[in-house]
Homo-oligomer: A and B are copies of this chain.
């Protein structure tokens, strides 16, 4: 397989409520009232953590057998530290996005702790969402006005 183009759309509805869509699948994001929204869904930074966690779960499952991991279950908790003063323009020294992301793997497997730890290292290095954040891709922007 060579390069594949994955696509998605985001459309602002009412207030800050935004509908996301890809291949017919949708979810709604918003902000809590404390950040100006109506709380119709998680917000984009929570969705980013969710997506990162899901990508790590899927990679954990997809490659387990080939790595000799007898996986019974995996779930992941994620915490991200962000100072809203940054994007709200209240503190120009505050980072706009996450300054730190912590991933907590909970893995049940018929393997030694050492085998699981080694496998998690592989998972973290083989996760497309993680790689996109660590090894920043090229960005292009097009603007269509009306």
Which residues of A are at the interface with B, using a C-beta cutoff of 8 A?
A: 1-12, 15-16, 18, 20-23, 25, 27, 29, 31-32, 36-37, 41-62, 73-90, 95-109, 113, 116-117, 120, 124-146
Chain A to chain B: the 3 pairs with minimum beta-carbon distance, closest first: A10-B53, A97-B131, A97-B132
Cα–Cα, bound, A105→B125 (Å): 32
Q: Are B7 and A79 in contact (CB under 8 A)?
A: yes
Q: Are B105 and A142 in contact (CB under 8 A)?
A: yes
Q: With both chains docked as a complex, state the minimum distance between the C-beta of A86 and any C-beta of chain B, in angstroms.
A: 8
Residue of B nearest to A119 (CB): B143
Q: Are A128 and B55 in contact (CB under 8 A)?
A: no
Q: Are B8 and A96 in contact (CB under 8 A)?
A: no
Copies of this protein, total? 2
**What are 19 A-B pairs with beta-carbon distances under 8 A?**
A6-B49, A7-B79, A8-B46, A9-B76, A10-B50, A10-B54, A15-B61, A31-B58, A44-B129, A47-B47, A81-B137, A87-B126, A95-B135, A96-B131, A97-B131, A102-B139, A107-B143, A113-B145, A116-B145
Q: Other than the known A6-B80, A107-B144, what 16 A-B pairs have Cβ atoms closer than 8 Å?
A: A2-B83, A3-B99, A6-B46, A8-B42, A8-B47, A20-B47, A27-B47, A37-B58, A44-B128, A45-B128, A81-B137, A87-B131, A96-B135, A100-B138, A106-B146, A107-B146
* Overall SS of chain A's interface: mixed
Q: With both chains docked as a complex, state the minimum distance between the C-beta of A33 and any C-beta of chain B, in angstroms.
A: 12
